[in-house]
A and B are shown apart, each in its own frame.
Chain A
């Protein structure tokens, strides 16, 4: 089947904004998710968006959803070195949580 697509790498300077993009496949997913995985750790839910919304803001995080294009993005404002991690978007086709390929965010001081 089709893969949920993400750019593999993103490098930013501390204090800049980061934008991580995702193209998902399942138009019936009611919720779409962003998970964060730090080195050597499991995954942690970062934020989510309900499919009838086009934007959600949660402190430094802004999620944008374009259902027509099946495009999801995560913006991290004032990116810090502690934000360095792999970020996965995820959709929920048929009762399963399916992850995108992951974007490795590197934050340089």
Chain B
């Protein structure tokens, strides 16, 4: 199983709503990532979890709150978002290892397309 599964595929929410994006993998990967991608732009790194602990936060606003409840699951909790937060949110997973020592392949999900009204 080399799949990363993201739900929901599409989400429309108002600026006062609270919602969550979910990501699941069963490849035994201990590193998981959230990326944000605007149309026709490259994915931008948001968060990295390594062994279920947050290791990188790319100065993401607090209205985005990540959670890694176990080694297979990654959530992104959304609250009080702005219309400019509308984007494709991509989850990825990989083996843990120093980038300098090993080739680290990220496996991406198909993304959750978020629209904030």
Instruction: Give A contacts to B, CB under 8 Å.
Output: 28-31, 40-45, 48, 50, 86, 88, 92, 95-102, 104
Contact = CB atoms under 8 A, between A and B. Distances in A.
Q: Interface residues of B: mostly helix, strand, loop or mixed?
A: loop
| Residue of B4, B55, B99, B106 with highest tally of chain A CB at under 10 A | B99
Task: Indicate the size class of the contact surface on chain B.
Answer: 20 to 34
20 contacts: A29-B99, A30-B99, A31-B99, A31-B103, A40-B110, A42-B92, A42-B108, A42-B109, A42-B110, A45-B105, A45-B106, A86-B40, A88-B43, A92-B99, A95-B98, A96-B45, A96-B48, A99-B42, A99-B43, A102-B40
Contacts of A30: 99-101
Nearest 5 interchain pairs by C-beta: A42-B108, A99-B42, A92-B99, A43-B108, A42-B110
B32 interface: no
